[in-house]
Amino acid sequence: MTDQTSGDGSGPVLRQNGAPTDTVVVLTTVPDALLAKRIAHVLVEESLVACAQVGPGVVSMYLWQGELEGTDEFQLTLKTTADALPALHARLCVLHPYEIPEFVVLGVPAGSRAYLDWVAQATRPAIHAASRNG
């Protein structure tokens, strides 16, 4: 991460530069609110994400096996770090009922220093556990 506001690295806003600890946002959808809350709870409890937001219901339109589908779903927005992505993806695939769950990673070009540091610290236990088990 690099400082966005001052030359001495103490500014409140940071621009991220592709480091493994950089914050990223992951989007996924699930078929119901109860499952969304359960997945959010597990991912936060296991330190795979620092924060999980369960959004309101959405209707997803897509082609699946040649058929047009319209499905009521709930959006999950997950805040984590780049180095947590492999473990997060693996765990989400276990918890998720879909054959191919949505897993879209959005970069975070900049953010508040305090928030980005908090995300990195909140996901450290999962990264340390993965490196011990891997």
Residue 132 has pLDDT above 80, yes or no: no
User: Model confidence over 65-91: pLDDT tens digits?
Assistant: 999 999 999 999 999 999 999 999 999
Quickly tell me which residue has 């492999």 as its tokens. 86
Question: Burial level of 74, CB count in 10 A (0-12/13-18/19+)?
Answer: buried
Banded model confidence at residue 134, pLDDT cuts 50, 70, 90: low
pTM above 0.75, yes or no: yes
Q: What is the pLDDT of residue 126?
A: 72
Residue 35 backbone phi and psi in degrees, to 5:
-65, -40
How long, in residues, is the chain?
A: 134
Domain edges within the chain: 18-126
Residue 130 has pLDDT above 70, yes or no: no
Banded model confidence at residue 6, pLDDT cuts 50, 70, 90: very low
Beta strands in 5-66 (DSSP E): 13-15, 23-30, 51-64
Of 16-25, 28-37, 71-80, 94-103, least confident by mean pLDDT is 16-25
More confidently predicted of 88 and 126 = 88
CATH code for residues 18-126: 3.30.70.120
Distance CA 75, CA 114 (A): 26
75, 29 in Cβ contact below 8 A?
yes
